[in-house]
Amino acid sequence: MTDFEPVQLEALLADFEETRESLIPLLQEVQTQYCYLPEFALRRIASKLSVSLTDVYQVATFYSCFSLVPVGKHVVQVCLGTACHVRGAPRVLDRMLRDLKLGTPGTTQDMQFTVRSVRCVGCCGLAPVVRVDNNTHPNMTQAKVRGMLKKYRSKEDRPAGEADEVDDAEARVHS
């Protein structure tokens, strides 16, 4: 996650026309660059585009692609659409939450993962589907969860000794 710097915001704002229409593209750009929409960015955007802060807040809270709280390095979207649900997505989600020590979908304490449940990602033939960042993982099972998370967790952030534990767990599952 990058810390938000006001200078970068000003550079971003310069690229967009100062009209109401550029509100959503601008919010999308801020979201992709900084993983969330900080409060002061929304205030700055509102004054720059002459849109009331209420409207900006309304748009920012309406679309699920925008987030007002910092999200983790990797966004994990577990599809809970009908096809995925039938093929065991709730179990995959439960397993993932347990592995990441989360009670409900959210962000882990080390800011590595944000788990979200989504309705349908539009590839029901691959159910159950998990999307991590822009990669789609088809045919997920509970057994695959750990290995997948391990792949994304960067090595330096991993507590010492956990690697062996993960390998052991996987070995048990596969045997």
Partner 1 sequence: MPTLKINGISVEVERGASVLDAARFLGIHIPTLCHDDGLTPYGACRLCVVEVSNSNGNGRTKMLSACTLPAEDGLVVQTHSAKVEKARRLLLEMYVATCPQSKTIQDLASKYGMRQERLAPKFDNCIQCGLCVRMCEEQMMAGAIGFAGRGAKRRVSRPFDITSPLCRQCGACLYVCPVCELRCHGSSAESTLCNGCLNFSTVCFQSYDDAMCFLDPCHACEVGGPFRSDVPVKLSTVKSAQQEK
Site residues (vs partner 1, CB under 8 A):
39, 42, 52-58, 61-62
* Structure-block tokens of residue 148: 């997948």
Q: Tokens 């991993």 — which residue?
A: 158
Nearer to partner 1, 1 or 53 (CB): 53
Rounded-to-integer distance, Cα 111 and Cα 144, Å: 22
Minimum distance, C-beta of residue 171 to partner 1, in the bound complex (Å): 43
Nearer to partner 1, 52 or 141 (CB): 52
Minimal distance, residue 22 CB to partner 1, in Å: 19
**Nearest Cα to 30, choosing from 54, 6, 51, 50?**
6
Q: Residues, the chain, total? A: 175
Nearer to partner 1, 54 or 134 (CB): 54
CB of 17 to partner 1, least distance (A): 22
Residue 39 C-beta: closest distance to partner 1, Å: 6
User: Would you say 32 or 62 has its CB closer to partner 1?
Assistant: 62
Question: Helices 6-14 and 39-49, interaxial angle, to 10°?
Answer: 30
Q: What is the DSSP letter of 102?
A: -
